[in-house]
Amino acid sequence: MAPEKYFLKLNNRVKFILDKGPDNSQGDSSTLEKGLKMIIENNSLCGEGVGFGVPALEYPGNIIFSTSAKIKNENGTLVKSFSMDGSHRKTWMHKFTINDRFYSTISNKLSHIYKRDKKYRKLIKGLMKFITILGLRISTQKTRSKGFVDITYAISRDNLVISVNTSRILDKKFNKLLIFNEQSADFDLYRDDFTQLRKDNIGVWEETNCQEACLTNESAKITFCLIKLDGAKLYRGRELLQPRLDWAGFCYITSSKVENHQYIIEIK
């Protein structure tokens, strides 16, 4: 059975596709449900990124993602209900789960250094490439669903309007809601109110305190921008390590206490 595919048209050049189920990529996010993928002249610009408007829930000691979903088309507005039913795990050859405490401790420390210390990022990236060759990967293990996060996608003028509702989450014990907005690592020029960064200098999930932040794909001549939401932190990031990682984007992190959020992605 062919996967369900839905489209939102921004203009004669840019449109977005929303589908469900695993995609054809080989990266770390291949088993996750995706949000809107940007398409220009029938070419996808999403890479291994999860797309625009994708939720995750942070529980104590674990982050829950979505591996299954349902989509509805409501008069040109798309609604995707993400079942929060997946947890990351480390595997070898996509088959054998690695639960060794020593490995996990070292991995977590390296991950922290990789995100926070630019001096060691290149070295750790080389190590990541080596262990990828050995067959070590991040996979997603399906778990009992915590409930649904409903994401609504709509077009308003030249912007995307994304609404997030967590009222159907059954397990309310999560601490934070994460909302990812990613396309491919070809969006490698970052600008905000004060800063301009390129490629690796963009960092990996570094907080930005500006009012508006943008990422540009110069070859495709397209930019997307997000503004800071009240009560939420905004993070930027980019990683390119094919075939595992190929993404650039932003993430809102906000409190679990608010069930409804809405934000705009400006496309330039």
Q: Contact 6/79 with Cβ under 8 angstroms?
A: no
Instruction: Specify if 114 maps to a domain.
Output: no
At 181-193, the pLDDT tens digits run 999 999 999 999 9
Q: Contact 196/182 with Cβ under 8 angstroms?
A: no
Instruction: Specify if 106 maps to a domain.
Output: no
Instruction: Specify if 216 maps to a domain.
Output: yes
Write out the residue range of the structural domain in which residue 210 sits. 5-88+141-267
Gap between the Cα atoms of 108 and 243, Å rounded: 21
Between helices 101-116 and 118-133, what is the axis angle to 10°? Answer: 140
Q: What is the pTM of this model?
A: 0.84
Gap between the Cα atoms of 103 and 118, Å rounded: 23
Q: Contact 35/52 with Cβ under 8 angstroms?
A: yes
Instruction: Specify if 116 maps to a domain.
Output: no
Please tell me what DSSP assigns to residue 187: -
Question: How far from each other are the two terminal CA atoms of the chain, in whole angstroms?
Answer: 36
Q: Coil, helix or strand for 127? A: helix
Q: Where are the beta strands (DSSP E) in 99-147?
A: 136-142
Both structure tokens of 152? 């609504």
We report the CATH number of the domain holding residue 34 as: 2.70.98
pLDDT, block means (10 residues), the chain with 268 residues: 82 94 75 95 93 95 92 94 84 44 41 52 50 52 94 94 97 95 98 94 89 97 95 92 88 92 96
